[in-house]
Structures are given as structure tokens and as C-alpha cells.
Amino acid sequence: MSGSSEQAPILRVKDLKVHFRAGGRGLFQKPSIVHAVDGISFDVPRRSTFGIVGESGSGKSTAALAIMRLVQITEGHIELAGHDLSGASDQALRDLRRRVQIIFQDPYSSLNPRTRAGAIVREPVDLMEIGDPASRDDVVGDLFDKVGLRPEQRALFPHQFSGGQRQRIGVARALATRPDVIVCDEPVSALDVAIQAQILNLLRRLQDEFGLTYVFISHDLGVVQYICDEIAVMYLGQIVERAGRISLFKRPLHPYTWALLSAVPSADPKRKRKRVRVHLDGDPPSPIDLPQGCRFAGRCPFADDVCRATPPQSREIFANHWVACHKVSDTGIPPQAAIEPNGAPK
């Protein structure tokens, strides 16, 4: 592979919008529009992990489904390894699905309870007609070994596995087509903390072994800090801040990111004593009836009339550190610096 193709992002998302119609079934009722994802853009380099975080309803899981073409895209462009994924025809999309797979949140409901584990993992290999049919059982056996399951467990049904083991089946199924990109939609949120660590370590090992690229969706900043290289923070369908992991956790610029980070647990007593715990009042606005200006203004302790009237544009404040906030100065001083000198939770 040439150096230039190695450096090019494996996944490009540009101005992605996913809007849903809600209500309006009556003869004279006007349908409402839910702005689930409302114009997000990012690039994901090869062999890296790109995290998307936010509260429930922020649009992060809808963005994941849009990348997989499992929901209809309203506007925007998605490019996978130079191929147009957003506008692909049925046959082209079928071919591209070999290159992008998904691990779902719930390791039980995402598995067919009436199908044996080996058949679940083999199904995408058969559908994509990968390799010689006679050798596909060997492929499944190798995948079970890669994810830490025993060969004889291929004959078991999903209910005979623990939650962590079921998620390992989901990981093996995602690996079956040898994809370039795997979308991980909250893959550990339904698991105990100890099992979460096992699955995260498994994902990192597989990434190194197979050269995988992950898009990792989560509401847990502790998990994201452990596994992600770059992180986008979503609020009400938009990305409000995007940066490398170290930069984001060291100096969060957006007040929403700052508030999220203040809630991340710390085992260090000194950090606990110094930390300012940020409590946000109210709930996010309705994704149907959006505010005129900044979507976070109604909950932001620093918002003024400009924030409430004018939507902020995303600006690159530091190298590869973008923020959409009127109150962040061009030199990178966030509004929360008045409370915490570095604007970062201590």
C-alpha cells in the first residue's frame, strides 16, 4: 500500500443529516421533523478509534446507524475507502457491507435466540459468499478462537452464554467479513465493569492484529478515554467539540464537554477534592422545536443574548481541536476558566 493511501482517512463523513418525520397523520396535520443528526462532519484515519459521546438523545447512535446505511440519510456524504457509501446502489452497498460492520449494544437481543452460535458467526460469511463453502466452518472456528471462545461452544444457543460471551459472539460476527471499519454502538454499556474491561482489551488486541478502524459510540467518557484516539462530543444532533483524546480531557473548551468531564469518577482523592462538579439545569430542547441560536444555550451557565440568537460555527482553536461556542476565545480561553483556571476538571 502506498504511503498516500495509508495516510488518507478510511472514513469521511461530511454534513451528515438524518431527519425523521413525526406525527402529521391526520388529513390537515402538518408533520413534524425530528432533527436526530443535523450536519456533522469528521474524518477517521486508518487503524484508529474515533469516539462519539453525548447524552441519550444526542444523536450518536443514529449517526452510527447512518454510517451503516441502516437508517435513511436525509443529506450529506459518507465515503468509505474512497467509495461513496451514502449514495451506493443496492448492489454496490452489498459489496461495501463487507468492509463495514457493526457491534450492537445489547449482546442478547442482537443475536437470534433460535440459532446456534456457530451459525450466527457463519451467516455473514455465507451471505457475502466469502471463501470456499467447505472451509467456512474452519473460518468460524478461527474466529471463535480469536475472540476467546472454545470450539465446542459453536453448538450452543445464545441463552447458554453469559453477557460477556454473547458480546464476544457479536465481535466474531462483525469480524467474519474481514471489514476495514467496525462501528461499535455502545458495545460494553450493558456489561458489568469487569467484563467491560475484558471486551475493551479484546477490541484493542483485534485492532492491532487486523488493522481495524473503529467508530466507537458511548455515553461513558471513562470508556472513551481508554480506547479512543479522537473524540467528538455531540449535543442535540450536532458536534459541539472534537479533539484528540489527550487534548479533550486536558483542556475541554465547550461548557458541555466540561460538564460531562466533571462527572467522570476519579480514584485520586486529591483530584476529587479539587474538582468542580458541574450540574446542568433542565433538559435538552426538543429535536423537533429547536432553539434559534446555540442549542446548549438554555442549559449553559455562561450563555448570553448572542448565544441565544446566533448558532455558533465550529472553529479550530488548537491543532485538530475544534469547538462550536461563542464564548471560547480565539486563543483558547473557555468561559469556565473563570471557575477553573485551566477550564478542565481537576
| pLDDT at residue 333 tops 90 | yes
pLDDT band at residue 25, thresholds of 50, 70 and 90?
Answer: low
DSSP 152-166: GGGGS-GGGS-HHHH
What is the per-residue pLDDT for 346? 42
| pLDDT at residue 217 tops 80 | yes
pLDDT band at residue 345, thresholds of 50, 70 and 90?
Answer: very low
Residue 264: inside a domain? yes
| pLDDT at residue 106 tops 90 | no
Q: Which domain holds residue 303?
A: 251-346
Which of 306, 324, 307 has its CA nearest to residue 315? 324
Contact criterion met (CB below 8 Å) for 18 and 66: yes
Number of helical (H) and strand (E) elements in the chain, helices listed first: 12, 12
pLDDT band at residue 271, thresholds of 50, 70 and 90?
Answer: low
Residue with the larger pLDDT of the pair 236 and 91: 236
pTM: 0.91
What is the per-residue pLDDT for 341? 54
Residue 262: inside a domain? yes
pLDDT band at residue 254, thresholds of 50, 70 and 90?
Answer: very high
Residue with the larger pLDDT of the pair 268 and 37: 37
Residue 284: inside a domain? yes
Burial class (CB in 10 A: 0-12, 13-18, 19+), 106: middle
Instruction: Please state which of the ranges 80-89, 157-166, 275-284 shows the lowest mean pLDDT.
Output: 275-284
| Mean pLDDT along residues 201-213 | 97
Count of structural domains within the chain = 1
Residue 285: inside a domain? yes
In Å, what is the CA distance from 324 to each residue of 37, 120, 173, 230, 317? 16, 43, 38, 17, 10
Residue 77: inside a domain? no
Contact criterion met (CB below 8 Å) for 39 and 76: yes
Contact criterion met (CB below 8 Å) for 55 and 295: no
Residue 194: inside a domain? no
